Structure 1
Amino acid sequence: MTKSTATGPGPGPARRFPFLRRVSDARRAAALAGAAVLAGTAAVCAPGVAYSAPRAAASPVPATDFRDCPPLPGGVDPGRWRCEVHTAATVLTMGKVTVRFAPITMTHAEGPMPDGGNGQVWGAMHSTPATVPGVRGLAIQPEYGGRSDAYTGTFSLRFRLLDPLLAPGCTIGATAPVDFRMKRSGPSTWVSQDPPLIEFSAYDDTFTAPAAEHCGPLTPLVNHRLGLPAAGGNLMTYDASYTFKTYDQLSRIPTR
C-alpha cells in the first residue's frame, strides 16, 4: 500500500468540491479528514515507475515461471495443450485519471477439446499497486474479474483502490467487473522461436468505467475526484509479450 506524503490539508475541500456541503454531518467530518489525500495534486510515484501520457513502449519480457499453469480438462492430449505466460505493460485512462501499471503477468492454458472445439482454462494473474497521479496517497491495483477468453481478446478486471482512509473493499467494478474487448494495434511479432517469444500490442477504447463502491464515507468524493462513472473517453493500451510450453514439456503436469 502506498503511504500518503501529504503535509497539510491545503485549500478547503468544500471550496474544491461543492457537493461536500450536501454531505451529512458525520460523512462530512470523515470527508474533511481525508481531503488532503484525495484532493492533493502531487503524485507519489513508486520507485522506478514514471507516470506520463500514454506512449508506445517496448513489450516487457514475459515471466518464465510456469508454476501457475492450471490443471487440464479431462481427456485432452497434453502434447496439444500449451500453458501461456503473458506479461503486459498497461496504461489505463479511466474517468479523469491515467495510470501506468507495472507489468501484469497472466497465465492460462489452451488447446483442443476431445470434441474438437477450442478449450481454455484460467491460471492466475499477478499485479502490483500503482499510485494515481494527482491524487496523493491513493493507489490502484488491477485484479482478475472472473472472465477471460484468450481466443477473442476479452477479459474482465476489477480495480481495488488502496488508501488508509478508504474502506478495505473500495473497488471500481465491485458489483460487475470492467469488461475489456481488446483490438490488435498491428500484427504479432515472433521475437524468438526457441524459446518461443511473441510480442503484440492491443487497445480498447470502448469500455465503460463504473463508479467505485464500498469505499466508506469518502465514496462520493472518490468518484468525483476520479470522474466516475465514465461511459466514454476511456482507454486501455496494452504492450505485451508471451511465451509458452506444451504440457508434455512441463516438469510436472498440474492435477486437480
Structure 2
Amino acid sequence: MRRLLGATAAALSAVALFAFPAHASAAPSPLPDFDFSACPAPPADADPGTWRCEAFVAQGLLTIGDREIPLGEMRLTFSEGKVDGKYAQAFGELRHTPARIRGTFGASLQLKYGGYSDFLSDDERRGELDLYAVLRHPLLPKECTIGTRTEPMHSIVKDDPAVPFEVISQNPTTVKFGVVDTQLALPRTTGCGPLAQVADELLDLPSAGGRNTFKMATYVQFKPL
C-alpha cells in the first residue's frame, strides 16, 4: 500500500520511496546541510521528468546485546524514477565517519555499503540495505571487518515510533522520520588476524538477530533530476 504526502504529493511523485503518512510537524526542525554531489544520473532510457535524488542525513545507534554504540552521522544518496513506466532506483553513496566503541581500548567502527539496497517501501518495511563494518584500531589489520562486501549484514528497517514523521519543508521537499531494525544479525569478525578472538569477545560476536538494534533518525531532502 503506497501512502502519499497529501499536500506534497505532487513534489514527491507517484513513485515515492519510503512512502510517508500525511502528517506535518507543528514546528520546524533544524536542518543539516544536504549534499547531492553523489546523486546517480538518470539512466539513458529513463522516463522524462520522473527522476529525483534523495539525500539522507542520519544519526544512528547500534546496540549489540547490552552494548550501545552511538554511530554519529551517516549520509546516503540514491536516485529513483521510472524506466518504461516501471519503478527503478540507483544507489549513490554511503558515508559514515568512524564511531568510537567505548570499552574497547580505542577501537572504532565505520559502516560501509554492502552492495545491495531497496528503498521502495511497502506496508511491511521502509527499505532494505546491505552493510558491513570496518573495525579500526592501531593493533588491528586494515581488513578487520564485521561482515564483508561479499557477505554483508542485511538490514530491513521499519518505522520507529520514537521518531515520528515530520514534513520539515515543502520547498524544497524535506522530511524527517525514524527507522529501526531489531532483527539485524552480526557475524564474527573477519580478517582481524591474531586479535580476532579478542575483538569477538569484546563485541560479543556473533550476535543473533533479536539481540541487536539498529536505529536511525533521518532527515531527507529531495531534488528533481
Give the superposition deviation at 1:60: 7.4
Which residue number corresponds to residue 221 of structure 2? 243
One of 186, 200, 207 as aligned partner of 1:230? 207
Partner of 1:202: 179
1:146 paired to 2:120: no
Residue 113 of structure 1 deviates from its aligned partner by: 1.6
Distance in 2, Cα, partners of 1:145 & 1:101: 17
- Residue 78 of structure 1: how far off its partner (Å): 4.5
SS at match of 1:133: coil
Number of residues paired by the alignment? 189
Deviation at 1:95, TM superposition (A): 4.2
Q: TM-score, normalised by structure 2?
A: 0.79
* Rg (Cα) greater in structure: 1
For 1:65 and 1:211, the matched residues in 2 are separated by 34
Equivalent residue, structure 2, for 1:217: 194
For residues 192-248 of structure 1, the C-alpha deviation after alignment (integer angstroms, 9 at most, x for no partner) is 10121101111010111111110010001110111000113100111101001110x
Contact 1:59 1:239 (C-alpha < 8 Å) held by counterparts: no
Aligned amino acid, residue 98 of structure 2: P
Alpha-carbon shift at residue 99 of structure 1 (Å)? 0.8
Aligned match for 1:121, one of 87, 90, 96 = 90
Stretches (4+) displaced over 6 A: none
Alignment partners' CA distance in 1, 2:29 and 2:128: 19
RMSD over aligned CA atoms reads 1.8
Deviates more, 1:214-223 or 1:89-98: 89-98
Compute the displacement of 1:135 (Å): 1.2
* Contact 2:29–2:168 (CA under 8 A) maintained in structure 1: no
Structure 2's unaligned 5+ residue stretches are 1-27, 122-126
Of all paired residues, the percent bearing the same amino acid is 36
Is structure 2 residue 155 aligned with structure 1 residue 177?
A: no
Asked if the contact 2:72–2:97 (Cα under 8 Å) also holds between the matched residues in 1, the reply is yes
User: Is 1:62–1:86's contact at 8 Å kept on the other side of the alignment?
Assistant: no
Q: CA deviation at 1:96?
A: 4.9
1:74 is matched with which residue?
A: 44
Q: Point out the more displaced range, 210-219 or 181-190.
A: 181-190
Alignment of 1:58-137 (within 5 A): 61-114=31-84, 116-137=85-106
SS of the residue 2:49 aligns to = helix
* Structure with the higher fraction of residues in strand conformation: 2
Preserved CA contact (<8 Å) 2:55 2:221: yes
Bigger fraction of residues in helix: 1
CA distance in 2, matches of 1:192, 1:220: 48
Long gaps (5+) in structure 1: 1-57, 248-256
Give CA deviations for 1:156-199 in whole Å, capped at 9, x if unaligned. 11110000101110000025111110011245321110121101
CA deviation after TM superposition for structure 1 residue 129, in Å: 0.5
Return the TM-score normalized by structure 1: 0.70
